[in-house]
């Protein structure tokens, strides 16, 4: 009697020659799994280092942009409210104060109102570093025309040479310093010696 080439398997007919192929193609080898896991591990490590550098740059840039926005806000308020504003920069924080009693002093006094409840602290442990000759703490004065002066030795001096401050970090972000002129406030990138306007 002749044997049939068809085998019944769950009411399906499969040729005997294909049964061997089904058994061979059913699964993944250990080598293939190890290769895929190795590739994924390499990509995770590579993207992890890239992500840390990117986040460091982002944090410095976001801080300098926030400080820039706060300085521009104080300047705008000085012009629109017709009051002088003091901006006190310290090593790791800054505060803006409105000279509400028009005392015309060299620093905020008891009759003045601060813009924020407390000084804004630089996040992530960053600190201000002066690039120009001035030292911290530094008090800037913004008059009712939006022009900048600063306090030095108990005197109010107009900003005749640029005041440059930066956030000290090991990253190289696109923006990490501020250039303060008598009539302009700008952001820039510190190149190791100067702050280049961007």
Residue boundaries of the structural domains of the chain: 30-197
More confidently predicted of 183 and 110: 183
Q: 30-197, which class in CATH?
A: alpha beta
Whether the bond between 137 and the residue before it is cis, its omega within 30 degrees of 0, is: yes
Please state, in angstroms and rounded to a whole number, the distance separating the CA atoms of residues 164 and 81: 27
How far the first Cα of the chain sits from its last, in Å, is 92
Please determine, for residue 29, whether its predicted confidence score (pLDDT) is greater than 60: yes
Confidence at residue 4, expressed as pLDDT on a 0 to 100 scale? 55
Confidence at residue 51, expressed as pLDDT on a 0 to 100 scale? 73
How many other CB atoms sit within 10 Å of the CB of residue 143? 18
Average pLDDT for 125-139: 92
Please determine, for residue 20, whether its predicted confidence score (pLDDT) is greater than 60: no
Please, which pLDDT band fits residue 14 given cuts at 50, 70 and 90?
low
């Amino acid at each position: 009697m002749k044997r049939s080439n068809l085998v019944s398997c769950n009411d399906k007919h499969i040729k005997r020659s294909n049964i061997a192929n089904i058994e061979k193609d059913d699964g993944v080898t250990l080598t293939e799994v190890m290769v895929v896991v190795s590739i994924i591990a390499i990509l995770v490590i590579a993207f992890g280092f890239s992500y840390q550098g990117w986040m460091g740059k982002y944090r410095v840039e976001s801080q300098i942009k926030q400080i820039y926005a706060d300085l521009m806000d104080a300047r705008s308020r000085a012009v629109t409210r017709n009051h002088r504003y003091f901006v006190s920069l310290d090593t790791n924080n800054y505060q803006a104060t409105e000279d509400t009693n028009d005392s015309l002093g060299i620093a905020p006094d008891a009759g003045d109102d601060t813009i924020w409840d407390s000084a804004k602290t630089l996040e992530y442990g960053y600190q201000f570093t002066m690039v120009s000759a001035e030292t911290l703490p530094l008090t800037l004065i913004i008059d009712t025309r939006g022009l900048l002066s600063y306090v030095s030795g108990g005197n109010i001096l107009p900003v005749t040479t640029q005041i440059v401050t930066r956030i000290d970090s090991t990253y190289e972000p696109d923006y990490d310093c501020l250039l303060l002129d008598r009539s302009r406030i700008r952001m820039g990138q510190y190149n190791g010696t100067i702050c280049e306007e961007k």
